[in-house]
A and B are shown apart, each in its own frame.
Chain A
Amino acid sequence: METSIQSFLARTLVLIPAFNEEASLPGLLAEVRAHLPGAAVAVVDDGSADGTAAAARAGGARVLRLPCNLGVGPAVQTGFKYALESGYDYLLRLDADGQHPPAEARKLIEAMIAQPTDLVVGTRYGAGSTYHGNGFRRCVLKGLALFVSVICRKRITDPTSGFWLVSRPLLKCFAIHYPSDYPEAEAIALLRRQGFSLEEVPVAFKPRQAGASSIRAWGTVNFAAKVFLALFVDRLRSVDPRGSAAFIKNGGAA
């Protein structure tokens, strides 16, 4: 298993989208080096005003520096495109605030090796979960999970988790279109419609190291409204044939 993980990591790009995360990056990058040796690391600096790019470079990561703040969706999509162009077979996405422990990423990799799929998502609500959000937010997230599960016809427990291990065919799909505002839930619904598969793996999330969540208390209502609207409108769209799993896996997209 260990040798297969080593060869897997050599084909993997670790992607860390970061906005003003100068404080938490050095620790996170050290952890990545310790737990995921041999994997290339790229930090997308989403127009930060602090020393995020310098901290990333000092930590040995490649830096994709966006000239202005585009938001999490376009930042992540930039990383997807970079991974594609650089020839990586897998992309592991970690949050820069340290919520996704690199040590736990091994569970995602093991799941991908054991049963290859297009996307492995680390969920904080699996068996033995120790994660506790505040009551109202947890309620909204549960409702969202239920809704996404229904439209995906598959049980999804954590549609807002960004702890992802993405395979190359799905990177090609997301390079064409990736949602922008609160992208994860919408992206999951989208990839299911395009014919891709996903699996969830329970992992332990850590509390945030520094900075503040992009989804704040009052913002929960705003967040829910936008995500539900996006999910609804997505159902009204026709599937983009260039991004469909069948087209990409038959060598359609060069």
Chain B
Amino acid sequence: MKRRIVGAVLAALAAAAVWAAVPWLMDASQMMRIRALMGAVSVCVFLITLLAIRGYKLREKYAVLWLATAAMITLAAFFPQVMDAAREWFGMQYVTSVVAVVFVFLVLVSFHFSIALSALNDKAAATASRCAILEARLQELERRLGAAGPAPAAPPADRPAAGR
């Protein structure tokens, strides 16, 4: 019940913010609108990342990269002079080139995840393999025990074809 009230209040606040922002955005310059959009995106990335960590859907060690991404977007939205400084620093002609650099950063993030996924794949295979060996040895043991004493419990029924 308490969670629902908090949720409703947060939703109302968000709606009010959007309601207040719409007329201001209508009058604002194009640059301001882009910055507002980027600010909203960065807030979303932050929120989604934090919610995912909170719900045990995302490990902190992977979340750091996404939080860094959100921080970069926030920085660019609220302090555009940072982007200009970066552009000058790298000797680039246009701010859009900085976006290309950011894109490369995101590609690296996804590469990092491919590597994490491969490691996970190996671990899952090793675990499944161990399971199969232990099950076979358990059945062997049950068979021997069954020959010696009272009948052991029935082997587990065939599982539905899972994992595919």
Residues from chain A with a CB closer than 8 A to the CB of B128 are: 66-68, 70, 74, 78
Bound together, the chains give a CA A66 to CA B159 distance in angstroms of: 11
Residues from chain A with a CB closer than 8 A to the CB of B16 are: none
A84 nearest CB neighbor, chain B only: B133
* B163 interface contact, C-beta 8 A: yes
When the two chains form their complex, are residues A64 and B136 in contact, meaning their CB atoms are under 8 A apart? yes
| Cβ-defined partner of B136 (8 Å) among A62, A68, A77 | A62
| Cβ-defined partner of A65 (8 Å) among B125, B132, B140 | B132
Query: Is chain B's interface secondary structure helix, strand, loop, or mixed overall?
Result: helix
Contacts A54-B158, A62-B136, A64-B135 known; A69 to B163 CB distance under 8 Å?
Answer: yes
Instruction: Render B127-164 as a binary contact track against A, CB cut-off 8 A, 1 for contact.
Output: 01101110111011000000000000000001101111
Within 8 A of B (CB), among A58-80: 62-70, 74, 77-78
Within 8 A of B (CB), among A27-70: 42, 44, 47-49, 51, 53-54, 62-70
State how many angstroms separate the Cβ of A61 from the closest Cβ of chain B. Answer: 10
Residues from chain B with a CB closer than 8 A to the CB of A53 are: 158
Bound together, the chains give a CA A69 to CA B135 distance in angstroms of: 16
Query: Is chain A's interface secondary structure helix, strand, loop, or mixed overall?
Result: mixed
Q: In the complex, which of the residues B129, B161, B162 has the most CB atoms of chain A within 10 Å of its own CB atom?
A: B129
Residues from chain B with a CB closer than 8 A to the CB of A63 are: 136, 139
Within 8 A of A (CB), among B79-122: none
Bound together, the chains give a CA A14 to CA B51 distance in angstroms of: 51
Instruction: Render A131-144 as a binary contact track against B, CB cut-off 8 A, 1 for contact.
Output: 00000000000000
Closest 10 CB pairs of A and B: A68-B163, A49-B161, A78-B129, A64-B132, A74-B125, A64-B136, A66-B132, A82-B133, A70-B125, A66-B128
